[in-house]
Amino acid sequence: MKSLPSLVLFIGIGLAIPIIYYFIFRRRSALDKIPAWVWAYTGFISCVFFPVFLFRKHWEKALVMAYNKFWFVAGVVQMDNNFWETLAKLLVIVIFIALCRENGKETFKQKSSSLIFGYWVGLCYGIGEAITLSVIGYFPVLNRIFGINLFMYFTTWYVVWERAYAIQIHAIIGALVGLGFYHWYGLAKKWWLLIFFVFGMLYHELVDGLVLVMMYFPKLEFTGFIRAHIYTITLPVLLVVGYLIVFLAYRASKDNKKTEQI
Yes or no: say if 86 and 180 are a contact pair by the CB < 8 Å rule.
Answer: no
Which of the four pLDDT bands, split at 50, 70 and 90, describes residue 1? very low
Q: pTM to 2 decimals?
A: 0.92
Q: What angle do CA 224, 228, 233 make, to 5 degrees?
A: 110
The DSSP symbol for 26 reads: T
Q: Is the pLDDT of residue 140 over 80?
A: no
Q: Is the pLDDT of residue 6 over 80?
A: no
Position 5 scores a pLDDT of: 66
State pLDDT tens for residues 227-251.
999 889 999 999 999 999 999 999 9
Q: Phi/psi class of residue 29: alpha, beta or left (left: φ > 0; alpha: ψ in -120 to 50)?
A: left
3-state secondary structure of 108: coil
Give percent above pLDDT 90 in the chain.
63
CA distances from 14 to 44, 120, 190, 202, 248 (A): 10, 12, 33, 26, 29
Cα–Cα distance for residue pair 130/160, rounded to 1 Å: 9
Cα–Cα distance for residue pair 11/44, rounded to 1 Å: 12
Give percent above pLDDT 70 in the chain.
91
Q: 161, 165, 201, 197: which is closest to 179 by C-alpha? A: 197
**Percent helix, strand and coil across the chain, each to the nearest 5:** 80, 0, 20
Largest Cα–Cα separation, the chain: 56
Position 262 scores a pLDDT of: 38
Q: 205, 177, 147, 189: which is closest to 87 by C-alpha? A: 177
